[in-house]
Amino acid sequence: MRKTLATLGFLFVFLFLNSNGIFGQEIQLSETIKVDPKANLKVNPRSFCVTEDKAFIFPDQDGKIKIFGKNERSLKFIKASGPNFGIETLIRPMYCFYSRNEALLGVIDYEVRKVFIFNRPKKEYFTSMKVIDCPKLGYDMEFAGDGEQLIISGYLTDKENNPFDLYSINIRTRKISYLLPSYQKYNQKNAEDYVIEYYRKQTLPAIGIKAFIDIQGDDAYFVWEGELRIIKLNLHSRETKVFGKKTPYYTKPDGAKLSYSYLRGDFETTWKERKTMAYVRNIFATPRHVFLVYETGKSDKSNVSTFMLQRYSPEGNYITEDSIPDNPGAQMWFDKESYELYAFSKQSDSNNGEFTILKYKIKR
């Protein structure tokens, strides 16, 4: 009898996990891609893009943007030059974002605090287009409005000194629009509570301040790294919808615990404690689905974290959660048309210039 009950109990747990997508075969490794050593990448890139013809774009800290064609294994370099850029030049490009519909490439250079924009009239090359001087560069950026706007995840205050953590810049007119107040990013009731938690108690910066965005149609999907809580924002009406499912694999960062060492300036301890908690790493939106990636915390027994992929409907209904196999890193690119996810492997050896990209196929 006990054996029967134990068997039934195991079956129940298996079915429960499977119904939540844990063993749902939602994502599988389909290919391992070695980056051409001729690219001479200086460090593991902070970000990369993949074009519609499967070319990889890496902003590198030697001042070059490197394009590696997967099929023909060709390597090309582009630098900021030409009449549209004037005397501006890339010094330390670190992040990139690419819009296939508009054939636009954006590159963020934190050294000169500018965004360089290239267009791609033909598949063979990119040409210099514009350089945007942003008041605050932020942590993530996307094109919107048929390539006419930059949507920026970063801190900025308006004329009344109200803090915002999502804003837009019109590429042509340079007009700034303020989209999401900071207190909404951090899930605070109002601006006063935000000031207390952020500046006085410092529970929020102790957790972290990065946030990620993706654009689908007229909607921006925004998520703070410190909480599994997606904000869907309509860029026209400014209406918002909040959703997100915290499963047993997700351990929300504890701001009160982290702030103890953070306030004392013991950032090494803060960093170690952060590693035991789960952090959101990216978000991707398609017409059919919204995908969120988070990294689980490392336990005392294991020094290994796991990347989890959650799937939602655009309306915010939770669908599945599955682990991403083969030890990927946080740098990712999602192909919205083919449902292919690309990620730098943690096994890459930056000291020897050996970099590997993992390609996954996600079930539609």
Closest to 256 measured CA to CA, from 278, 273, 280, 281: 273
CA atoms within 13 A on the CB side of 82: 14
Q: Look up residue 180 and give its amino acid.
A: L
Q: Which of 144-153, 289-298, 345-354 has the lowest mean pLDDT?
A: 345-354
Please give the DSSP secondary-structure letter assigned to residue 280.
E
Which pLDDT tens digit goes with each residue over 33-79? Answer: 888 776 677 666 788 999 888 888 888 877 778 888 755 444 566 55
Residue 288 sits at the vertex; the CA angle it makes with 287 and 289, to the nearest 5 degrees, is: 105
Query: Using an 8 Å Cβ cutoff, are 60 and 361 in contact?
Result: no
pLDDT band at 135 (very low <50, low <70, confident <90, very high): confident
Indicate whether 11 pLDDT > 60. Answer: no
What's the token pair of residue 134? 């942003």
Q: Once rounded to an integer, what is the mean pLDDT over residues 85-113?
A: 81
Instruction: Retrieve residue 282's tokens.
Output: 């990216």
Query: Rounded CA gap, 179 and 120, in Å?
Result: 29
Tens digits of per-residue pLDDT, 152-175? Answer: 999 999 999 999 999 999 999 999
The domain spans of the chain are 146-323
pLDDT higher than threshold 50 for residue 18: no
Angle at 275 (CA atoms; ends 249, 250), nearest 5 degrees: 15
Mean pLDDT over all residues of the chain? Answer: 85
Q: What is the pLDDT, as a whole number, of residue 133?
A: 84
pTM more than 0.95: no
The set of long-range contacts for 330-338, using a CB threshold of 8 Å and a minimum separation of 24, is 330/281, 330/282, 330/295, 331/44, 331/45, 331/46, 331/47, 331/48, 332/281, 332/282, 332/293, 333/47, 333/48, 333/49, 333/50, 334/282, 334/284, 334/291, 335/50, 336/284, 336/285, 336/286, 337/52, 337/100
Nearest residue to 85 (alpha-carbon basis) of 146, 126, 124: 126
Res 79: pLDDT: 54
Provide the token pair at 1.
Answer: 């009898």
pLDDT value for 127: 76
pLDDT of amino acid 45: 72
Residue 9 has pLDDT above 70, yes or no: no
What pLDDT does 44 receive?
Answer: 64
pLDDT of residue 88: 60
